[in-house]
Amino acid sequence: MASTLTPRPGIANIRAYVPGQTVEADGRSIKLSANESALGPSPKALEAYEKAASRMSRYPESDAFAIRTAIAKLYNLNPARILMGIGSDELLSALVRAYAGAGDEVIYPTATFPMYRIYTLATGATVVQAPDKNYGADVDAILAKVTPNTKVVIIANPNNPTGTYTPASELERLRAGLRDDILLIIDAAYAEYVERPDYDAGASLVERTTNTVMTRTFSKIFGMAGLRLGWCYACEDIISVVGRIRSPFNVSTPSQAAGIAALEDVGFQRKIIDHTRKWREILIQRVKGYGLTVTGTEGNFVNIGFPDTPGRKASDLDAYLRSKGISVRPMAMFGLPSHLRITVGTDDEMNALMEALETFYAKGSA
């Protein structure tokens, strides 16, 4: 029997998000398609998680005070302005839901995280995409798209999937050019990988305004994607609003314990950054040597542009790598059909990738 239920406007237009895939071939399975941490979580985080598992019969701390304090200590923030979420995804969704709805508009760049579209359409709001500039956010283009109906602007910094970043001065200019009643969301999931003097993840802008939010995650540098742990930083009024509509007891006790231990293991964070930078640079130089292009240099991934040459297209290399048990991420869903995004993996995984690339470009994909 057909259902007579009708979902709210916009939901029928949502294309389900497709995560990075895993393939098995040639006796192996190397996943470089989901921007997961190359070296996994800190051993101290694993130990803390196992110890906390004995308390799973009890509800977790509802205000997550201990982990908020640990975050505030590492990043020099005000813990009262921190709110925890089931990954940053829960908070991004709640923020859009809290401040936009039917008749409103949400603006974000063109080649960026596809979930922004889903968050927007789920509220009944209208998606407005601003053209990119050099594969990154164009502040002027975003401001040109603002109308009286604009309620939220979202910018990923660094941007996934292109690896570009928006300098702090440009973020300041964006915020100054928006009306006070427009919420600016800065999705800084890859902030820890950026070591640029003109970069700021967004905390300073949050502290000087009442209409800006920075979201962060433990899924990337901290290697805890499977635990779904994230947080946001905003003024206390926004924290109060979002806190009313997020799930209660949303962050589990073991997740909080693991998160605290990961935050405190600064040495492991440095190890991840150094490993990522080394292989990112090796990969960039290798693909440029094949005559390919790279969209940006931040994050734990490289987004590669391919020519429209038979046998040398992005789809050709993707198919070849899959035949070798290596999965990377085609970029059609992100609006870049001639690109592949490759996550930095372990030493062994990256060496296997380099060997496969060398074979492909030396002998072709046949």
- Phi, psi torsion values for 53, nearest 5 degrees: -60, -25
pLDDT at 26: 76
Please give the structure tokens belonging to residue 93: 């969704």
pLDDT at 180: 97
Please say whether the beta carbons of 92 and 122 come within 8 A.
no
Please give the structure tokens belonging to residue 5: 């239920």
Please say whether the beta carbons of 280 and 294 come within 8 A.
no
Q: Residue 143 CB: number of other CB atoms within 10 A?
A: 17
Q: Give the DSSP letter string of 63-129.
A: T-HHHHHHHHHHHT--GGGEEEESHHHHHHHHHHHHH--TT-EEEEESSS-THHHHHHHHHTPEEEE
Residue 350's closest CA among 42, 39, 26, 27?
39
365 has a pLDDT exceeding 60: no
- Phi, psi torsion values for 339, nearest 5 degrees: -130, 155
**pLDDT confidence of 11, banded at 50, 70, 90?**
confident
Residue 352's closest CA among 28, 18, 94?
28
pLDDT at 366: 39
- Phi, psi torsion values for 105, nearest 5 degrees: -125, 145
Region 147-159: what's the mean pLDDT? Answer: 98
**pLDDT confidence of 4, banded at 50, 70, 90?**
confident
Region 284-297: what's the mean pLDDT? Answer: 96
Give the separation between CA 42 and CA 327, rounded to whole angstroms: 25
Among 103-112, 221-230, 243-252, the least confident range: 243-252
Query: Containing H/E element for 330?
Result: strand 329-330
Please say whether the beta carbons of 340 and 326 come within 8 A.
no
Does domain 43-264 fall under CATH 3.40.640.10? My reply is yes
Q: How far is CA 66 from CA 35, 70, 117, 169, 221, in A?
A: 28, 6, 33, 33, 20
Region 311-320: what's the mean pLDDT? Answer: 96
**pLDDT confidence of 3, banded at 50, 70, 90?**
low
**pLDDT confidence of 2, banded at 50, 70, 90?**
low
Region 3-31: what's the mean pLDDT? Answer: 77
Region 83-107: what's the mean pLDDT? Answer: 96
% pLDDT > 70, the chain: 97
pLDDT at 25: 75
Residue 215's closest CA among 302, 113, 138?
113
pLDDT at 140: 98
Q: Which residues pair with 245 in a beta bridge?
A: none
Please say whether the beta carbons of 319 and 306 come within 8 A.
no
**pLDDT confidence of 172, banded at 50, 70, 90?**
very high
Q: Where are the domains of the chain?
A: 12-40+267-363, 43-264
364 has a pLDDT exceeding 60: no
Give the separation between CA 221 and CA 199, rounded to whole angstroms: 17
If one compares 247 and 240, the residue with the highest pLDDT of the two is: 240
End-to-end alpha carbon distance in the chain? 49
If one compares 23 and 346, the residue with the highest pLDDT of the two is: 346
Among 1-10, 89-98, 214-223, 296-305, the least confident range: 1-10
Q: Is the pTM of this model over 0.95?
A: no
**pLDDT confidence of 201, banded at 50, 70, 90?**
very high
**CATH number belonging to domain 12-40+267-363:** 3.90.1150.10
**pLDDT confidence of 1, banded at 50, 70, 90?**
low
If one compares 19 and 273, the residue with the highest pLDDT of the two is: 273
